[in-house]
Amino acid sequence: MHRLTRPVVIGVTALALGGVGAGVALASPSETPAAVAAAGHHGKHPGEHGEFTGRGKAHRTIDYQRGTVTATNGTSITVRSKDGFTATYTVAPTAKVRRDKQAATPAQVQTGDRVFVAAAKEPTGLQVLRVRDRGPAPAATPAPAPTPGS
């Protein structure tokens, strides 16, 4: 399994969670912004999900996705983005998981949690490198009841 440098993974996570420049965040130091922008996305919401293939000896491909966990069992996580794109990721023992800015375990990731996943595209499938878990979505606030006579 290939390793991604810590600064690149941190940059990917920070920018993708912010919804800005996700493609640029995945660039290796040798990539140009134009090449990264041309890497493309799976869907119409830049920053929701996509992939990038870096240059170098290994030509490693990294997939990333932001969305809601629809299934998890400790060894895999299925995530659905707002535009309906769904992917399942295998959680390797080396995967780094953060929940509410604290180190966590894959078992702490629950169905309904909002996550950002960065995964290496391997011959065996998508292998999680990092998961940033923001916990469950806040409950929707009900609309105020109409007042009599309105």
Q: Does residue 44 belong to any structural domain of this protein?
A: yes
Q: Does residue 25 belong to any structural domain of this protein?
A: yes
If one counts the domains in the chain, the total is 1
Regions in the chain scoring below 50 on pLDDT: 1-2, 14-45
Res 54: pLDDT: 75
Res 59: pLDDT: 77
Burial (CB < 10 A; 0-12, 13-18, 19+), residue 5, is exposed
Res 100: pLDDT: 85
Q: Does residue 45 belong to any structural domain of this protein?
A: yes
Q: Does residue 142 belong to any structural domain of this protein?
A: no
- Pairing verdict, β 76-80 and 125-136: unpaired
What domain range includes position 92?
6-136
Res 149: pLDDT: 66
Res 10: pLDDT: 52
Q: Does residue 76 belong to any structural domain of this protein?
A: yes
Res 137: pLDDT: 81
End-to-end CA distance of the chain: 64
Q: Does residue 114 belong to any structural domain of this protein?
A: yes
For the entire predicted model, the pTM comes to 0.63
Res 33: pLDDT: 35
Q: Does residue 31 belong to any structural domain of this protein?
A: yes
Q: Which residues contact 26 (CB under 8 A, 6 or more apart)?
A: 8, 12, 36, 39, 52, 54, 62, 64
Res 6: pLDDT: 52
Q: What's the CATH code of the domain at 116?
A: 2.40.50.320
Q: Does residue 148 belong to any structural domain of this protein?
A: no
